[in-house]
Amino acid sequence: MGTVSAKKRLEIIEKDVIPSMFVGVLSKDEKWLEHTLKVTLPQLEERAYRLARECRENGECKDDDPLVDETRIRALFEEARSKLEKEHITREAHTRFSHL
Give pLDDT tens digits along the chain (100 positions). 568 899 999 999 999 999 998 887 777 888 888 899 999 999 999 999 999 999 999 999 999 999 999 999 999 999 999 999 888 777 766 666 555 5
pTM: 0.84
Residue 71, judged by CB atoms within 10 A of its CB (0-12, 13-18, 19+), counts as exposed
Helix (H), strand (E) at residue 51: helix 41-57
Scored b (16 or more CB within 10 A) or e, 4-33 reads eebbebbeebbeeebeebeeeeeebeeeeb
Report residue 15 CA to chain centroid gap.
10
